[in-house]
Structure 1
Amino acid sequence: MNPKNALAAAVAAALALGTVTVVAGQSTAAAGTSVAQPGAGFRAMTADARGEAIRTAGRNAPATARELGLGPDERLVAKDVLIDADGSRHVRYDRTYGGLPVIGGDLVVHLSENGTITGSDLAHQGAIRVAGTTPKLTAADASAAAVKHARHVKKAKTGSKDGSTLVVYAVGKFPVLAYRSTVTGEGEAGPASRQTVIVDATSGAPLDQYELHQNVTGTGNGVNVGQVSIETTQTTGGYTLTDAAHGGTIVYDSYNSPQSNPKQNARTFSRTTNSWGTGTTSSRESAAVDASYGLAKTWDYFKDSFNRSGIRNDGRGAPAYVHVDTGLLNAFYDDDCFCMFFGDGSSQNGNTPVTTLDVAAHEMSHGVTAATAGLNYSGESGGLNEATSDIFGTMVEFYAANAGDPGDYYIGEKLNMSGGYMRRMDNPAADGNSLSCWTSGAGSVDVHYSSGIGNHFFYLAAEGTGAKTIGGRSHNGTTCNNDTFSGIGKDKAAAVWYRALSTYMTSTTNYAGARTATLQAAADLYGTGSQERYLVSKAWAAVGVGTALPDPGTGTPTPSPSTPTPSPTTPPGGNALANGSFEQGTGGWTQSADIITNSALQTARDGSWYAWMMGYGTDAVESLSQSNVAVPSTGTPKLTFWLKVSTQESGLIAYDTLKVKVNGSTLATYSNAHASAGYAQRTVDLSAYKGQTVKLEFAGTEDTYLSTVFLVDQIAIG
């Protein structure tokens, strides 16, 4: 969650018992008390109770849409409801526009026990507006464009069954009519890899693309959970691998069916006795035992830890298929069929089935993410998606307490890869590809590698810094800022992550948004002034995301060890501002929302990063600021920056404004009346602040109708 995802004006919509209560003011979900909340704060719900809660939310959806300021062509579809121990509830919706699915249209509404709204999180702020729902391109044109733009598969093609579907793409500030296409070809997931490509329905320009199979891939040897107990079902004449205790989960033998149709030759596992497998690959049952055990332990972990009943929290088990394809060194979850697939490995790993405990838990956790935040599988949200599966795959390994596979923070260590693991959370960069620290380019890195930022955060939040031996393996919690601190423990860290995922994150959440979401979750569970919340902020700062909160024990920020708080100085190059061109991402700046971006939907004046303010077409406010700025004490100091204004307004009346403020005083105002074809340099005299330390702020305001976008880049004070 981040402030941009809270409503900019008064928002209210009570979903309890069909009532509507209006509350003035902007807020997020109410912070919890100092007493820890078990189970990430959620009540256990029966399938019937959950179903009725979702139906109630559905009945209230029209009223909710009106109160949120959504347009007449928009509809909300209730997806899930979570209820806290104190009766507060969190209702998650998907959104449609003119009957079309909206990618990036999901949102969460938070309500108190009496139905009063306390906050909201929207993947896309405000109402959806597009010029129309009639595309210039045909579906065939879109399919051709998708094949052309597909990067993750070779010999790309689209089929009539998985062709192009018209959608509204609302991941950026300006929603656009688009086509979502499914492209198949040869890729990381094998010869039948599938990729989603989203193209503009007017121009065919690519907007996004990502693999559909959220998978674990690698090379190595060995996967075997050893002798374990599994749940089976007795039938006439014998037993089947049907786990009635875990939602009727069934493990099938795919019998080497192709990935494109894993059910083609599938059959159930059955035998006359209730003894399964031999612990070796000579028995086809051995891999099925691994899968059955891993999925059951994952179910139990989510149930015991968070009162969650199955992937979708509806008590239903997802089918799993082992022995998929031939020579498939891969495992993946597919939300389209609500099922999981496991390959037999290849010659690269001695043809060992990819069914380790942490792999099975990783794949099932992808389903939990799909059922909650629905994190887009590209950019930083894709890295968070992968990190979530690594986090819970690791937690299930600890939970299972299997002597043959003790818990640790290594991913796929039982696969005997050449480096000893697929990924490691304490030091992600050790594999030579993963990111340990956030950078401005994190969103363009493969999601399996950008996940390292989230993995590293979680390890530090759980275990803190320093060298440790965990599960018989060496771990070393190094940081990106040379800080040292203790952790809050893995169970608390997991509770914070799960609550953030299920309650505050949306499909477009990035790492900055994940920080905000986890801080709110920690406040809910342990209190706003708790050490847990403070240490969560320390862990984020340690991976380069934001700064640490003030230490609740002293009320002042804790500096890095032996490093005094610096006085304001002029950075190299004569610019008193840090990161004035934003090429280091958010470094140096405080933003009220996801303002600093490298989105391809707009262009920077120089480089690839810029500040994108406003553009909602509804009541909204935004702020971008930098404090502790030393205005030069000699000459005639001035502020310069490049500004591009584009608007849907007409005329010279200032409906939407961008104000330049120093220490709270407005020095210049720009508006929709300053619309320009490109960037124009602006100059503000700072002589009145010569030699002073000041706070610089860009403050944006937009009215109810029509949008104005203010793009700012290359800001300097000198």
Structure 2
Amino acid sequence: MQLNANVIAVAIVASLALSAPAFAAPSDQSPAALRAKGLAQNNAAALQTADADNFTTKDIIVDRDGTEHVRMDRSYRGLQVIGGDVVVHSRNGQFKKASLTLKTKDRPALTPAIDADRAVVEAGAAFKGQINDIGSQGLVIYARGAKPVLAYEVRVRGVSATQGEADMRTFVDANNGKVLDSWNIIHTAAATGVGQTLFLGDVSITTDSISGGYQLVDPTRGGGNTRDGVGKTIDRVYNTAKVMTDADNNWGNNTESLVASEATDAHFGVAATWDFYKNNFGRNGIYNDGVGVKSIVNVTFSGQGGPSGGNAAWYGAPYKFMAYGLGNSTWYPVVSLDVAGHEMTHGVTEATAGLSYSGDAGGLNESASDIMGTMVEYYANNAADPGDYLIGEKIYRSNPDGKKALRYMFRPGDADAGKSYNCYPAAGFAGVDPHYSSGPGNHFYYLLAEGAVSPAGFAYTPSQLVCNGDTGVTGIGRDAAQKIWYRALTVYMTSSTTYPQARTATLNAATDLYGSGSAQYNAVARAWSAVSVN
């Protein structure tokens, strides 16, 4: 929406957020990018660089001591290398190391044995659901397997029995038609899903004044805005939903009788997440570009059994918006604070590490959202929804003891009858829903922050909270734990990071922040071992 230049920002009370100029997208011609490209060329072996590889800058982080971390996507003879992304770490123009998962400089021949139509057929057959749109996106190099292979990327949109509403990236071997990998770019709050706010009581929100009233637009946080989906399925309304307006700047009535009630939960959740990232990490919006988030409440999602309101989702690029389901007989409108923080963290992950939504990386992607969604809840410090390590407990219509939740971070499998993994399996994850493979990451983070101590309201013994019998695991506190995780995510993890590589990434982050051999470093190592990641 184009805002009038004279729009007045109206804050009901003083906000923690400060106006700041937007950050420009990193340029391939910036000094840091040029240095990184030069270092990549001079350290080809460390980056597994082939002669025809090319790098494009995605993100740049510069530490206070001048150390540069330049994240780059890789292409080969003009084809994107899926899993070929890398972070070049340097200081004073000197190469330090690189973070990557690619293990070979071998590249495949670029002549396909099958055509794009065959790839589309194979991707469609693997989808197993109602297909609304399907088409080839062209050839890529798929490098997340044992060796890089030429593949077609096929986009499949529709409703899948396993994914629900889906917009799939599917990779089909261009030599034999085998489906190599596939993931959904719509990242939801739960696999099956399921103002005067519904959940937070009366809160202060930032709005805009317009002629004759106010609108749910937050000019102090990049123009983020909240819209009413009027009960429609999200694919029919995401580009037409209107920004909500009000005559007196008093929104909702703490009940579902007014959509404005759930809208203010969402609006507050976006603001809290923005402030959390800005005040803790200096991040200016989800993409660090100063641009606010578009949120659409009161929507349904397509599913095999028909439209459902029991979910919430972050829609990644090129969409870049939040959608909140209107609820159903099991769920309230899905606008709780930790769900908002969770979903928007998918955007942060997309903008930084780009963790693919399959295998170990998919579990780490979901875990990152659970971790930061939980930290947003603690950061907001709202008495009606105090911080805890339960995900989505507020959205249950029936939850008398408050222990029902989508996921527990301290023992993930206990929240969903054993579907989530408490401990990391020796063979890693393949074909496991990321909501369940997130378990070891969530479990690690709880132990890192809190130690082998039962959360309030539960009665776990220390031995029940670890996988290796190490009952002496001691927490380092949420502040240090979140700093380590954020730095690992934004500086060291790449699109195909595995759990063992996440261990290394967080140890690198702990070294940067607190020193090798520090109490924090040792705690990271011990917490990972306690969930069987060695």
Please indicate the TM-score interval, normalised by the length of the shorter structure.
Answer: 0.7 to 0.9
- The secondary structure found in structure 2 opposite 1:91 is strand
Change (3 A) 1:503 1:264: closer
* Alpha-carbon distance between aligned partners in 2 of 1:164 and 1:82, rounded to the nearest angstrom: 31
Alignment pair present for 1:331 and 2:312: yes
Aligned to 2:423: 437
SS of match in other structure, 2:255 = coil
Secondary structure of the equivalent of 1:294?
helix
Question: Residues 127 and 61 (structure 1 numbering): CA distance in 2 closer, same or farther, change over 3 Å?
Answer: farther
With over 3 angstroms needed to count, the CA separation of the structure-2 counterparts of 1:99 and 1:313, relative to structure 1, is same
Deviation of 1:123 after TM superposition, in Å, equals 2.8
- Answering whether residue 144 of structure 2 is matched by residue 159 of structure 1, we say no
C-alpha distance in structure 2 between counterparts of 1:491 and 1:328, whole Å: 35
Shift, 1:225, TM fit: 2.1
Shift in Å, 1:405: 0.1
Q: Which residue of 2 aligns with 1:227?
A: 202
The structural deviation recorded for 1:171 is: 1.1
1:79 is aligned to 2:58: yes
Query: 2:100 is matched with which residue?
Result: 122
Q: Which amino acid aligns with 1:389?
A: S
Could you say if the C-alpha distance between residues 191 and 492 of structure 1 is closer, same or farther in structure 2, counting changes exceeding 3 Å? Answer: closer
- State the partner residue of 1:169: 142
Map Cα deviations across residues 95-120 of structure 1 (whole Å, 9 max, x no partner).
112222211011000111x2212111
The answer to whether the 8 A contact 1:55-1:78 is kept is no
The residue that corresponds to 1:481 in the other structure is 468
Deviation, 1:172, is 2.4
Q: CA deviation at 1:236?
A: 1.9
1:506-545 equivalent positions in 2, closer than 5 A: 506-545=494-533
What value does the CA root-mean-square deviation take over the aligned residues?
2.4
Offset, 1:137: 2.2
Secondary structure, counterpart of 1:159 in structure 2: strand
Q: Which amino acid aligns with 2:360?
A: E
Give the residue type in structure 1 aligned to 2:69: H
d(CA) in 2 for partners of 1:273 and 1:189? 45
Q: Whole-Å Cα distance in 2 between the matches of residues 104 and 374 of structure 1?
A: 10
Deviations 1:73-103 (A, max 9, x none): 3211101111112121110001112222211
- Which residue matches 1:342? 324
Q: Distance in 2 between matches of 1:60 and 1:229?
A: 46
Structure 1, unaligned runs of 5 or more: 1-44, 547-718
SS in structure 2 of the partner of residue 292 of structure 1: helix
Amino acid at match of 1:434: S
Query: What's the offset of the Cα at 1:203?
Result: 0.9
Q: Does 1:449 align with 2:436?
A: yes
Q: 1:414 to 1:425 in 2, by over 3 A?
A: same
Q: 1:214 aligns with which of 187, 194, 216?
A: 187
Distance 1:248 1:275 in 2: 19
How many pairs align? 492
- Which one has a larger percent helix, Structure 1 or Structure 2? 2
Distance in 2, matches of 1:516 and 1:339, equals: 32
Matched, 1:393 2:373: yes
Q: Identical aligned pairs, as a percentage?
A: 42
Partner of 1:427: 411
| Distance of aligned partners of 1:474 and 1:47 in 2 relative to their CA distance in 1, 3 Å threshold | farther
What residue in structure 2 maps to residue 500 of structure 1? 488
**1:76 touches 1:96 (CA, 8 Å); kept in 2?**
yes
Name which of 80, 84, 92 aligns with 1:101.
80
The one-letter code matched in structure 2 to 1:120 is A
Matched to 1:375, the amino acid is L
3-state DSSP class of the match of 2:368? Answer: helix
SS in 2 for 1:232: strand
Q: Secondary structure at the match of 1:155?
A: strand
Name the SS for the 1:382 alignment partner: helix
Alignment of 1:36-435 (within 5 A): 47-48=22-23, 51=26, 55-60=30-35, 62-69=37-44, 70-112=49-91, 114-125=92-103, 127=105, 129-132=107-110, 134-150=111-127, 153-156=128-131, 158-160=133-135, 163-187=136-160, 192-217=165-190, 224-263=199-238, 265-325=240-300, 327-336=308-317, 337-349=319-331, 352-416=332-396, 420-431=404-415, 432=417, 433-435=419-421
**Maintained 8 Å contact 2:339/2:392:** yes
Unaligned runs of 5+ in 2: 1-19, 301-306
Task: Read off the aligned partner of 1:177 and give its amino acid letter.
Answer: L
The offset of 1:260, in angstroms, is 2.5
TM-score by length of 1: 0.65
Q: Distance in 1 between matches of 2:28 and 2:450?
A: 37
State the distance in 1 between where 2:327 and 2:346 align. 21
Provide closer, same or farther for how the CA distance between residues 84 and 62 of structure 1 changes in structure 2, counting only shifts above 3 A. Answer: closer
CA contact (8 A) 1:362 1:392 kept: yes
The alignment partner of 1:443 has SS state of coil
TM-superposition CA deviations, 1:553-580 (whole Å, max 9, x none):
xxxxxxxxxxxxxxxxxxxxxxxxxxxx
- Contact 2:129/2:161 (8 A) holds in 1: no
The worse-fitting range, judged by mean Cα deviation, of 69-78 and 188-197 is: 188-197
TM-score, with structure 2 as normaliser: 0.87
